[in-house]
Amino acid sequence: MSPFRPAIAAVQAQVRMSTRSFEDLMPVLTMPLFALVFLAIFVHSGRSDLAGYAMVAPLLMTVAQMGFFVASEVVTNDRDEQLLELLVAAPTPLFATLWPRILLLNALGLVGFVEIWAITVGVFGISVEFHHPWVAAATLVLTVFSSAGTALLMAALFCFGRSARTFQNSVTYPLYLIAGVLVPVQYLPSWLQPLSPLVFLYWAADLLRDSLRADEMVNLAWRLTALAGLGAFAGGIGALILGRMLDRLQRDGALGLR
Amino acid sequence: MSDIRVFLYGLRVGWMQFTGFWTWSTWTGGWLLRIVAQATFFAMIGQLLDSPESLRYLVIGNGVVVGALAVNWTVPASTWDRGDGTYPLLVVSPSSLIPAVIGRTAIWLLNGIATSLASLVTLAVVFRIAVPWPSALLIAPLVTLICASVFCFALRLGSLVTRMPSARNVVHNSALTALMAFCGVSVPVAFWPGWVQVIANCLPLTHGLAAIRGVFDGAPLAMIASNAVWSIVVSAGWLAISVLTMDRMADAGRADGSIEFVR
């Protein structure tokens, strides 16, 4: 049997579930609309040259929201629907099916780019050129990976209950602000700036904005590594916590109980 | 009398649900932190543009619109009875659905007022936006008026999504983005084409926000009062539409047998 078969089956199942769910697609449908707000502000101020910023921010926010609010719910939803017991009992390791599903949901966030592009060109008649398209592509792939890693960590935290939900509802905008998703971090107070590189969105936003400029990219390898590394770190911790949590739930016979 | 009783019971249910979600510590340390961060996120565009006027405009607009965001939770909250399985009982009860739904969702109106006032004060201090005295006293009633106006609008959206609960968050978020884009939060209403301006003038935030900007800018009282009156007119319109259609939406669900099924 191909080692990829469980992953492919999991992805197919997730596609079927998500394409029927408004909730799963909600960030893709709504977050790109922020491009309308950002572009209106820049155009009104006579700064259409910042249109790239107005495209980068909602795209990253869409991917991140898919991670924070949709992908992070996969384990909880499986538990609610009594699927988790079956997945844990199956001979295939749980992570072989869980990780591809989380990756897929985060990758779906990239579809928001179509909506953002349509608003930029269709409503405001602005065309934006990526001077380093391969850097932009690599950044987006690694952003999906890092967002998925963060979603896995959050999925693990949700096993702890209500306080994690409060965290989920509270964490997004503070992170977007600290990471400089829209306004670069040099505009933040200096005491806040040291926190920025700890958030994967900081590296993603910086790389995407630089990929819009004709200037040569600086420290590219290091920045891409930092982006991927933060995702790997969060995902590793998430996998560790989730594995231990599931072991405990199995021992307690509480895997299917909520 | 019975409508008031139903309203109060609804309010109690809403309060229980609200306190199940937020405690005082998580409301201030979680919700309010997120909301202030959100308003700051948008206001910082003024810093990027290196324009004190833009910064001031965005601080006031976003300090107010976060209240609308909180009130707009009325949209998803309108469908929660369906998820709880209590909606069919409300529909078949002899009382109208209107006081029950308004009561249960009114907690989000109160949350919106508190959220907006706390955010406006915080942002005004952080970004050093002065408010002329004593007209600053008008801000609290005007914020209340705006939140009430958004509440009337959200009731209408809520009654629509009770027919399709799975769309509740999409409608909630899209409506809010539309308010942010077109109602003078981010750019003046005059920035948009004429037909968009006509729609914007029928939306709940536009006139109330213009009144608050008038207070911050030290505008004549007559201009502030005129915008406040227009805000009341728009609110009354949305409330009338909501009240007239709420029971009908439930009747439509009863007619096609869909009120027990949550999609």
In whole angstroms, what is the distance from residue B23 CA to residue A113 CA?
37
Q: In this complex, do A187 and B187 lie within 8 Å of one another by their Cβ atoms?
A: no
B257 torsion bin: left (phi>0), alpha (psi -120 to 50), beta (else): left
Q: What is the 3-state secondary structure (H, E, C) of chain B?
A: CHHHHHHHHHHHHHHHHHHHHCCHHHHHHHHHHHHHHHHHHHHHHHHHCCCHHHHHHHHHHHHHHHHHHHHCCHHHHCCHHHHHCCHHHHHHCCCCHHHHHHHHHHHHHHHHHHHHHHHHHHHHHHCCCCCCCCHHHHHHHHHHHHHHHHHHHHHHHHHHHCCCHHHHHHHHHHHHHHHHHHCCCCCCHHHCCHHHHHHHHCCCCHHHHHHHHHHHCCCCHHHHHHHHHHHHHHHHHHHHHHHHHHHHHHHHHHHCCCCCCCC
Cβ contact B107:B14 at 8 Å: yes
Residues 6 or more apart whose Cβ sits within 8 Å of residue B236: B152
The owner of tokens 């600290």 is A178
Contact A173 B37 (CB under 8 A): yes
When scoring A21, A26, A168 by the number of chain B Cβ atoms within 10 A, the one with the most, hence best to mutate, is A26
Q: Which of A15-19, A68-72, B74-78, B198-202 is most confident?
A: B198-202
Burial of B196 per CB tally in 10 Å (0-12, 13-18, 19+): middle
pLDDT at B80: 82
* The model's pTM: 0.90
Mean local confidence (pLDDT), B27-33: 89
Give the Cβ contact number of residue A167 at 10 Å. Answer: 16
Question: Is the ipTM, as predicted for this complex, more than 0.85?
Answer: yes
Structure confidence at residue A166 (pLDDT): 72
DSSP per-residue codes, A31-55: GGGHHHHHHHHHHHTT-GGGHHHHH
Tokens of B19: 């306190």
Q: Does A33 touch chain B (CB under 8 A)?
A: yes
* pLDDT the model gives residue B240: 93
CA quadruple B101, B243, A29, B123: dihedral sign: negative
Please tell me the predicted confidence (pLDDT) of residue B1: 54
Residue B132: phi and psi, rounded to 5, are -65, 140
CB–CB of B137/B33 below 8 Å? Answer: no
Q: How far apart are CA B164 and CA A153, in angstroms?
A: 32
Determine the pLDDT at residue A148: 95
Q: What is the pLDDT of residue B11?
A: 92
Nearest CB among B34, B181, B192 relative to A170 is that of: B34
Contacts of B21 in chain A (CB under 8 A): 166
User: What is the distance between the alpha carbons of residues B171 and B125, in angstroms, rounded to a whole number?
Assistant: 33
Q: Contact at 8 Å (CB) between A99 and A151?
A: no
CA distance A232 to chain B (A): 26
Contacts of A174 in chain B (CB under 8 A): 33-34, 37
Q: Positive or negative, the Cα torsion across B73, B74, B75, B78?
A: positive
Confidence bin at B84 (pLDDT 50/70/90): confident
The answer, yes or no, to whether the previous bond of A93 is cis (omega within 30 of 0) is no
Q: Extract the tokens encoding B68.
A: 């609308």
Rounded Cα distance, A156 and A204, in Å: 24
Q: Decide: A156 and B15 in contact? Cβ < 8 Å.
A: no
Query: Which of residues 114 through 143 in chain A touch B, CB cutoff 8 A?
Result: none
**Residue B262 predicted with pLDDT over 60:** no
Q: B66: how many CB neighbours lie within 10 A of its CB? A: 27
How many inter-chain contacts (A to B, CB under 8 Å) are there? 101
Residues of chain A with pLDDT under 70: 1, 160-165, 256-258
Q: Which two tokens stand for residue B164?
A: 């399709």
Which residues in chain A have Cβ-Cβ distances shorter than 8 Å to B191?
40, 44
pLDDT of residue B22: 84
Judged by average pLDDT, the poorest of A62-71, B20-29, B31-40, B137-146 is: B20-29
Of B22, B35, B47, the CB nearest to A183: B47
State whether A22 and B167 contact (CB < 8 Å).
Answer: yes
Q: What confidence category does residue B202 fall into, taking pLDDT thresholds of 50, 70 and 90?
A: very high
Residues of B in contact with A30 (CB under 8 A): 169-170, 173-174, 177
Rounded Cα distance, A37 and B32, in Å: 22
pLDDT per position as a tens digit, B129-185: 888 888 889 999 999 999 999 999 999 999 888 878 888 888 888 999 999 999 999
